[in-house]
Structure 1
Amino acid sequence: MINTPKVAVVILNWNGVKYLKQFLPSVLASTWPGLEIVIGDNASADDSISFLKENYPAIRIIQNDKNYGFTGGYNRVLNQVEADYYILLNSDVEVTPGWIEPVISLMESDEQIAAAAPKLLSFAQKDQFEHAGAAGGFIDSFGYPFCRGRMFYEVEHDLGQYEQSGEVFWASGASLFIKKKYWDEAGGFDEHFFAHMEEIDLCWRLKNLGYKVMYCAQSTIYHVGGGTLNAENPFKTYLNFRNNLLLLKKNLPFWRAFFVISIRFCMDLLAIFRFMAEGKRKDAWAVSRAHQNFVLGLMGIRGSGYGVRDFNNRTDNAKPRTTQHASGTISKNLKGMYKGSIVWAFFAKKKTKFTDLDQADLI
């Protein structure tokens, strides 16, 4: 590249000193010229800051005054970082040599590419895809996200089946590459999400503006997953169900959103019954609270679920989320959407791998 883009790796930390100790050295070994590494801290109560200052005094630290969640934390930190590309990297990620170069090269090849992610494998089992992003994110017509390499709880081994880079619907927030100008145009993360599915919302908004989101097979990282909220945490259940409804409400046309959300409420009731049958009463209650918060938000009433603001009450620094392209036109890009129901395909038709799906049903 004649003009080397300025790239900043930004790691948002919250009480994650053990991950900083374990994985920061691999990030520091990155070979991108002039790379800036920034640690944004969401008011950690552990010794993260003292560890960084003592062991990595050259690393820039940006401290938030409290925990603003994944969304608010990143918004505030990135407001203070200047670069052509941001790489939003989870603290529980081990990167590999030369992991940045292939992704930036791919994104530089097309002005319309706004965001991208590398191949995401499991740190615990390195020949297996990782749940949070695998080989690129997709979404079905009812708003259920899934990945190449991961559908619901079925995770594939990496056998070289997804070695082709290409356009997807969403890129994982575990390692999200995004051009700063498009981050700014989209308005960053929506802070109503707090955490979980915020990257899907951001990618959907970018695609509604006509931009592309890519998967880069030539770059690999290893993700621990569940570093802040593990899969058994009812708060995570609450966020996943609440935020999925919010995702649909925001990004679909009104009548389509009304239709899909009505169906999702019925399907979520089945999830409540399943949780109850499995003895997971806190998870069942979390789904119910997610519905309550969503409905109260529609009515303009502030919800009380788990202390997270409902979507009609932004945090003080939250910016309006733009829905208009800078050129004044909107050209939606739905590449990466599955026209059918992934629930029906997976549970009824037993299609447990991405390659089992009818490729004609993928936009």
Structure 2
Amino acid sequence: MERTTIISVNYNQPQVTIDFLKSVKKYTDVGSTELILVDNGSLINHEDTFKNIYPELIYIRSDKNLGFAGGNNLAVPAATGDFLFFLNNDTELTEGLIPTMVEEFKKNPQIGLLSPLIIYHENKTKIQYAGFSNMNYLTCRNKGIGNLETDTNQYNNISEETGYAHGAAMMCRRKDLDEVGLMEENYFLYYEELDWCEKFRRTGKKIWFTGKAKIYHKESISVGKESSLKTYFLYRNRMLFIRKNTNMFNTFLFSIFYLTIACPKAIASYALQKRKDLIPWLIRAVAWNFSNKTTSTTLGYKLIN
């Protein structure tokens, strides 16, 4: 019997994770589903609490925060499933989610990564994700399909190729992951799932979206609060993504756009918002790319757990 391994990461969110575990328990069968939770450097070890909710849980604890990719990657060697489902701990499953997604893989061997329809948890009539458009590599920008649309079941029967999977919910075959490799950990936060999609495509696999399955995501509809960490990794990794995934000429053209248009515009916006404290972090983010190789493991940002 084919099995699916759910991999999720907890970082100082015990109640959110408890809700997630209850959802997994409600909507999956332990006979066909394995659950691995990586505690990514949380201050308090809640292993006993989590296992009281989900006794079959495979719990892996890291002493430090490894980032999104690092936390998920840590679980892969322990996974025994034929399919691996990387699922955020702030999501809620729905009936038939995993069997429906597995069936899509069986019908189409070309699928490398698959994401379901994602609905905002705080307003279950609003769509967060129904696919992504292709990337404009000169600006490193693309668009979310369906974002903030009212869900009227318009995507429920759609399964199709899309630009990128969504990091909150990504499924792949184990054998494909073994060929493609793990997510790149030097992103730490943001863009690592987009980079992973590019790696899958380079092996001839496709990125798909299916509206036949859905999850609810507790990410806020409103734009998240700006912080030095968010600013730094968004601007650092936008450029890193282009450097890793395009040729030198495209990187050169992107750099001109980034340095003369995108970054000055962001700096002006921060100044108008009275967030001048974020400007040095944007500058550090860009500077990192001119002093580090694309394979560098130096984050350039001191993390305090």
After the TM superposition, which residues 116-135 of structure 1 pair with which residues of structure 2 at under 5 Å, given as runs? 116-130=114-128, 134-135=129-130
Give 1:5's aligned residue: 2
Cα deviation per residue 1:135-175 (whole Å; 9 max; x = unaligned)? 0123431211321023xxxx322233434221012111101
Output the CA distance in 1 between the equivalents of 2:78 and 2:243: 30
Relative distance call for 1:268 and 1:219 in structure 2 (3 A) is same
How far 1:300 sits from its partner (Å)? 9.4
Q: State the superposition RMSD in angstroms.
A: 2.2
* From 246, 251, 273, the counterpart of 2:245: 251
How far 1:203 sits from its partner (Å)? 0.3
Output the CA distance in 2 between the equivalents of 1:103 and 1:53: 26
Runs of 4+ in 1 over 4 A off after TM superposition: 298-304
* From 153, 162, 165, the counterpart of 2:159: 165
Output the CA distance in 2 between the equivalents of 1:260 and 1:303: 23
Output the CA distance in 2 between the equivalents of 1:299 and 1:49: 36
How far 1:230 sits from its partner (Å)? 4.4
Q: How many residues align?
A: 296
Q: Is the 8 A contact 1:135 1:162 kept in 2?
A: yes
Q: Is the 8 A contact 2:21 2:54 kept in 1?
A: no
TM-score normalized by structure 2? 0.90
User: Structure 2: 5+ residue runs without aligned partners?
Assistant: none
Q: Secondary structure of the residue that 1:289 maps to in structure 2?
A: helix
Relative distance call for 1:183 and 1:96 in structure 2 (3 A) is same
Give 1:143's aligned residue: 140
How far 1:98 sits from its partner (Å)? 0.9
After the TM superposition, which residues 177-256 of structure 1 pair with which residues of structure 2 at under 5 Å, given as runs? 177-225=171-219, 230-256=224-250
Give 2:169's aligned residue: 175
Q: Secondary structure of the residue that 1:74 maps to in structure 2?
A: helix
Give 2:54's aligned residue: 56
Output the CA distance in 2 between the equivalents of 1:301 and 1:40: 24
The reply on whether 1:68 has 2:63 as its aligned counterpart is no
Q: Is the 8 A contact 2:243 2:294 kept in 1?
A: no
Q: Secondary structure of the residue that 1:137 maps to in structure 2?
A: coil
How far 1:97 sits from its partner (Å)? 1.0
Output the CA distance in 2 between the equivalents of 1:272 and 1:162: 38
* From 273, 279, 286, the counterpart of 1:278: 273
Q: Is the 8 A contact 1:17 1:47 kept in 2?
A: no
Relative distance call for 1:301 and 1:46 in structure 2 (3 A) is closer
After the TM superposition, which residues 30-41 of structure 1 pair with which residues of structure 2 at under 5 Å, given as runs? 30-31=27-28, 34-41=32-39
